[in-house]
Amino acid sequence: MKILSWNVRGLGQPRTVRRLKNKLRRIQPQILFLMETKVTSKRMESIRRKCGFLNGIDVAATGTRGGLSLGWKEGLNLMLKSFSNYHIDVEVEDEDEVDTWRFTGFYEVPVENERKESWKLLRALKRRNDKPWLITGDFNEILFSFEKKGGRTREERQMAAFRETLEHCELYDLGFSGQWCTWERGRLVDNNIRERLDRGVANTEWWKLFPGYKVSHLQHSFSNHCPIVVDTCGMEELRGEEQRARVNWLRMGDRNTAFFHRSATHRKRKNLINELKNEAGSLVTEMDAIHNLATEYFKEMFSSKEVSNCDRLIESFFPSITNEHNNMLMAAFREEEVAEAIKSIAPLKASGKDGFPALFYQKYWHIVGEEVTRYCLDVLNGRRNIDEINKTSIVLIPKEKSPKTLNKFRPISLCNVIYKIISKVLGQRFRKVLDLCIKDTQGAFVVGRQITDNIFMAYEVLHSLKRKRGGSKKSFALKLDMSKDYDRIEWSFLEKMLRGMGFCEGWILIIMRCITSVTYTVVINGKHGEEFKPQRGLRQGDPLSPYLFLICAEGFSRLIELAKKEKRLSGIRMGRGNVSVSHLFFADDSVLFGEASEEGANNMKCVVQEYEKISG
């Protein structure tokens, strides 16, 4: 099905109507949404019917401004839900489809100071919606500054209001193929302005209903806006190739078939591992030997090492998780949580050992959903063992071109989708209390925080350092990158951190079951190696891992705070309040601040070494 959305900038002239008819004859859309018709509803009905759309809804222009029209072909059943001067909202039922979905043709108020009302309208439409939802139209706004070339710079607050509205409505931009701009004014270089004002957005339910969709920006003719075509099955023939190509060009707009196929083949060849160096520096080229080398390397990496006592750190904690929080965490898991989890998994991420991507479960949930839900709830509620589905494949992503040693690869864990569902459910509950036990110095993965907050803070600190000319005390900023930080986390340290923060034994048991029951196999050139059981480490690819890593990294933060209390570290004082800033975390990256002296550097080094000794 093709949906055409177009701001036609007036249909009052017979010549313009003829050009519209010619355009529609070439595109052959089943649904047509036109904006700024600038004619009466009676006149628009006549034009629409001449164009072959006998069914439709027409909203008259107000004088010479506005005017909307929605038309559809025979064989479609559309039911009107609401309309105004700026939108037409319908439910769509194709005779060939089982599911109904929602379509909204949207025309944003062109007057800047009236935009708030349009965003309110979108939010109100969201409250009435529980179906797959597609919106196309002229939003008269851009999402980011790079979507405009020429003219006056768009204010950030305007773009932010648009982004926040889409986020609130859980709508996502559908991308496009073709030219990037949808509106243009001015023929000369000096006065040319181009913007992406027209677009298609949809919720994840619509995306899952039509995973083969394609959005095209066509060449404009009589209007300075280009037509937008959403084809619900425009890329079905490419779906099989997407797994082989593993590239984002399918969404980003590159459709060059010859190039596409060459790229898929080239990528496969490029990622082959034909030789590796062992510890002695000798090249290993025989495939079985390469597999054995990789398996032994990761066995060693994931083997538990002797760590120091962390009682001093744990004793410094004041439990932030109360009985009320623990009762929420330990409440019986529900079917709704499982259903929400499967919806939130990216449909076409690389599959685990079972070979099924999340899209399979999402598309056939009406068939497999009941059995999968029952299985997940049995595991979550402690009635079933998780070991049988917790088998993970390790794939190696090169950090550089043609690496020869295993430390130049990044190990990514491919978990089974059913395990991911369980992990997602636990992660959703974890998120509700994470801000209680993770200090503000950590900016990632915590609800209500943005990593950019700490970026701005780091910038302010560095700016303060740059301006600080006088004084006897100098300060330093240290960017810290910990090697294999996820892979070397000791499980005993994680368990003690959870307990120190106040998590109950039942919750700790559920979490530790997820990470200690895993079995690994290393995949090289598509072939699985020997299975082995790790003794430490968090999986990069497990939805739970980012939250668990934050718990461990909080131990590092607390060690720095302890050192400040003991007057071993001072941080950097800045601002009118003379606030001390000693560290900022960006997920697994850290920036540390301290006194630029031999003693200050040694004390910071001691804190880092202490964290290494107790965490792995």
The burial of 100, by beta-carbon neighbours within 10 Å (0-12 exposed, 13-18 middle, 19 or more buried), is given as middle
- Among residues 234, 268, 298, the one where a domain terminates is 234
Residue 446 has a pLDDT of 63
My answer on whether 301 and 230 are in the same domain is no
Instruction: Answer whether 0.85 is exceeded by the pTM.
Output: no
From 147, 144, 250, 251, select the one nearest 202 (Cα to Cα). Answer: 251
Examine the domain organization and report whether 223 and 367 are in the same domain. Answer: no
pLDDT at 271: 64
Looking at the domain assignment, is residue 266 inside a domain? no
State in Å, rounded, how far the first CA of the chain is from the last one.
Answer: 56
Sign of CA dihedral 297, 302, 306, 311: positive
Query: Residue 576: CB partners within 8 Å, gap ≥ 6?
Result: none
Residue at 265 is within a domain: no
CA distance 176 to 10: 25
Whether residue 210 sits in one domain with residue 308: no
Q: Which of 29, 24, 137, 131 is nearest to 83 (CA)?
A: 137
Burial 121-147 (b: 16+ CB within 10 A, else e): bbeebbeebeebbbbbbbbbbbbeeeb
202 and 328 inside one domain: no
Query: Has residue 260 been placed in a domain?
Result: no
Say if 245 falls within a structural domain: no
Q: Are residues 307 and 226 both part of a single domain?
A: no
Residues 6+ apart with CB under 8 A from 466: none
pLDDT at 266: 46
Domain residues for the domain of 74 are: 2-234
Of 513, 531, 512, 510, whose CA–CA distance to 522 is shortest?
531
**CA-wise closest residue to 183 among 215, 140, 246, 128:** 140
Residues with Cβ within 8 Å of 290's Cβ and at least 6 positions away in sequence, in order, are: 273, 275, 276, 284, 524
Tokens 């400040």 locate to 564
Count of other CB atoms within 10 angstroms of residue 315: 8
Residues 170 and 53 in one domain: yes
| pLDDT tens track for 27-36 | 999 999 999 9
223 and 308 in a single domain? The answer is: no
Question: Which of residues 196, 218, 234 is at a domain's end?
Answer: 234
130: CB partners within 8 A, 6+ apart: none
CB 141 within 8 A of CB 159: yes
Residue 256 lies inside a defined structural domain of this protein: no
Q: Are residues 317 and 425 in the same domain?
A: yes
User: How far, rounded to the nearest angstrom, does the alpha carbon of residue 593 sit from its chain's CA centroid?
Assistant: 31
Counting the structural domains of the chain, the total is 2
Handedness of CA 480, 483, 484, 485 (dihedral sign): negative
Interval 154-194: pLDDT, tens: 888 899 999 999 999 999 999 888 888 999 988 777 788 99
Q: Is 311 exposed, middle or buried (0-12, 13-18, 19+ CB in 10 A)?
A: exposed
Q: How many residues does the chain have?
A: 616
Distance, CA of 515 to CA of 491 (rounded, Å): 8
Regarding whether 410 and 325 lie in a shared domain, the answer is yes
What span, in angstroms and rounded, lies between the C-alpha atoms of 358 and 414?
A: 12
User: Quick one: 174 and 307 in the same domain?
Assistant: no
The answer as to whether 262 is a domain residue is no
CA distances from 463 to 87, 253, 281, 456, 459 (A): 47, 40, 46, 10, 6
Q: Cα 78–73–197 angle (5° rounding)?
A: 75
User: Among candidates 100, 101, 117, which has minimal Cα distance to 109?
Assistant: 117
Which of 167, 200, 234 is a domain's end point? 234
CB atoms within 10 A of CB 155: 11
**Cβ atoms 203, 132 nearer than 8 A:** yes
Give yes or no: residues 431 and 548 share one domain: yes
Handedness of CA 158, 164, 165, 166 (dihedral sign): positive
Residue 271, domain member (yes or no) = no
Q: Are residues 218 and 308 in the same domain?
A: no
Q: Which residues of the chain have pLDDT under 70?
A: 94-98, 234-271, 441-452, 469-472, 575-578, 587
**CATH number of residue 168's parent domain:** 3.60.10.10
Question: Residue 153 domain-assigned?
Answer: yes
